């Protein structure tokens, strides 16, 4: 879907688990990151369900299963997939694309989120958009 990209990350897996580099080096080198945060999702809960109007956001889900969905509100085109524990996907969401994440498992999962716009609590860059 235009404006929503699923990037499969390189990873190294062994009996201990996995290791990956979820933040693209070019974003760090070009100083295009201005907001990095981690959120938790308890079983059955949803994060997101909004649209950013000015920022590009990246999301890396740690754990699973998690339902990831995005919608282009202008065309109603929908992307929907399930991320399983151990999947190494980075989601890139352009401005104007609604997105949401739902923990459909039985344990807490986490999302590493980063974007190119500093968070301003007086002027948050989001509008509600129910996706999941």
Mean pLDDT of 92-98: 97
Question: The pTM is what?
Answer: 0.94
- pLDDT the model gives residue 16: 95
**Residues 27-84: pLDDT tens digits?**
889 888 989 999 999 999 999 999 999 999 999 999 999 999 999 988 999 999 999 9
- pLDDT the model gives residue 9: 96
Look at strands 46-51 and 98-103 and give their pairing.
Answer: antiparallel
Q: Domain 4-128: what homologous superfamily?
A: Jelly Rolls (2.60.120.10)
- Residue 117 sits at the vertex; the CA angle it makes with 95 and 53, to the nearest 5 degrees, is 25
């Amino acid at each position: 879907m235009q404006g929503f990209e699923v990037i499969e990350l390189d990873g190294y897996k062994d009996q201990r688990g996995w290791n990956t580099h979820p933040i693209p080096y070019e974003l760090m080198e070009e100083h295009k990151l201005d907001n990095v945060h981690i959120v938790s999702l308890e079983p059955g809960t949803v994060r997101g369900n909004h649209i950013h109007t000015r920022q590009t956001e990246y999301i890396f889900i740690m754990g699973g299963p998690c339902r990831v969905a995005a919608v282009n509100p202008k065309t109603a085109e929908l992307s929907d997939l399930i991320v399983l524990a151990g999947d190494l996907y980075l989601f890139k969401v352009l401005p104007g694309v609604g997105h949401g994440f739902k923990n459909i498992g039985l344990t807490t999962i986490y999302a590493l989120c980063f974007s190119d716009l500093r968070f301003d609590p007086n002027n948050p860059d989001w509008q509600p958009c129910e996706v999941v």
